[in-house]
Structure formats: structure tokens, C-alpha cells
Amino acid sequence: MSNAVPSVWRERLASPLTWHFAGAAILALLTIGLAIRFGMDWAATSGSSTDAMAGKQIQLKALDLQTAPLRGLDKKVVEARKQIAGFYADRIPPNYSSISTRVGELSVSSGVRLSHMQYTQGAPGADLTEITLDAGISGEYPQIMRFVNGLERDKTFFVIRAMDLTGQQGGLVNLKLRVSTWLRPADAAASGLPQTPEKAPAPATAPRGEGE
């Protein structure tokens, strides 16, 4: 009886069916192991890919924000050039005589009297040359303020550099005024105006009162 048991095991081990089942079990274990390893690798790869994708999206968003001001830049440049050309055409006088004529018209409409008028021109610029007017103005205070406000609001581009009240007699006020405007370099050269002194004494700027 004792010899029968080993012989049975030997028969079973020698049986091809036993080795078939054993091989199948080993293959099943290997398949399960590989599936688990593949699942772990896939999860790691998927997480890494998600992080990389998120990083790329952040970089793309940052680049989008950085380049936003440059979008349509060519159109903005064209529009800016049109605005500059329009400013030159509308507000830069075509010649010296038009400046003198306009200042005279403003003096008549405001009721002031101009004296000691002197026009000079600065060094030619790339696009414009500054024209300076130094003048004495006399009149009643409201008249003078109408003249000053008229210069500031005029279509011709005038910039008041300095004002200095020099005295008052009765109801009349005397004012020294320095005003700048601009001409195109060729127009300024054709005007024949003398050069503005480099260190010309500028009138002291007087404070503007309320409601002026």
C-alpha cells in the first residue's frame, strides 16, 4: 500500500496532462504579473503625460499673453501714421505768414494790442522746426485772457512757453508772452527768420487765476 502512493505521484508527474496544467498555471501567473506591471507603468506614464501637457498649456498661455500687445501691430502702425499725417495737415501751419496772420486775428478778436513782436526759428528737426514768438501784449485783463485762451484752443498748434505780467496802468495790463509753434523744416528755412538764441532769457511764468 505504501509503495502504491509514490507510484501514483510518479505516474501523475510523468503524465503530459499534469505538465500541461502546470505550464498553463505558470503562464497565467506570468500574464497576471505582466498585466499588473503594465498597469503600473501606464498609470505612471499617463500621470507624467498629464503633467507635461499641463506645463505646455501654461507655457502657451504665457506666450499668448506676451504676444497679445503685438497683435494687429501692422494695422496700429498704419493708423498711427494716418493720425500723424492728419495732425500735420490740420494743426501745423503751412508757412510763416499763416502764423503771423492767425496771431493777428486772435489779437483783433480778443481786443488786445501786440507790440515788440519777434519771430525766431530753432534748429531744424527731422520732421519739424520750432518757431518762437516773443511779444508784448497790452489790454484789459479779460481781453488778455481771451487772447491767451484763444492761442491755447486754436486749431493751429500753439504752445505757451511763458508769461510775465510787467505792470498795470489804470485798467490796462502789460504782459510779456512767449509762444511756440512749428513748421516743416523746408517751410521754416524759406521763412528767412533769424535763429532763436540758445540761451534766450525766457519770461517768468505767471500763475493763472481761477476761472481763467
Q: Is the pTM of this model over 0.75?
A: no
Domain boundaries of the chain, sorted by first residue:
4-65, 94-191
| pLDDT value of residue 212 | 43
Per-residue pLDDT tens for 188-199? 999 999 999 875
Q: Coil, helix or strand for 1?
A: coil
| pLDDT value of residue 205 | 46
The number of C-alpha atoms within 13 Å of 104 and in the hemisphere containing its C-beta is 6
CB 121 within 8 A of CB 191: yes
H or E stretch including 204? none
Per-residue pLDDT tens for 91-121? 999 999 999 999 999 999 999 999 989 999 9
CB 170 within 8 A of CB 130: no
Q: Return the CATH superfamily for domain 94-191.
A: Ribosomal protein S6/Translation elongation factor EF1B (3.30.70.60)
Which residue in 85, 78, 98, 86 sits closest to 156, CA to CA?
Answer: 98
| pLDDT value of residue 11 | 56
What are the residue ranges in the chain where pLDDT is below 70? 1-25, 27-28, 30-31, 33-52, 70, 199-212
Which residue type occupies 204? Answer: A
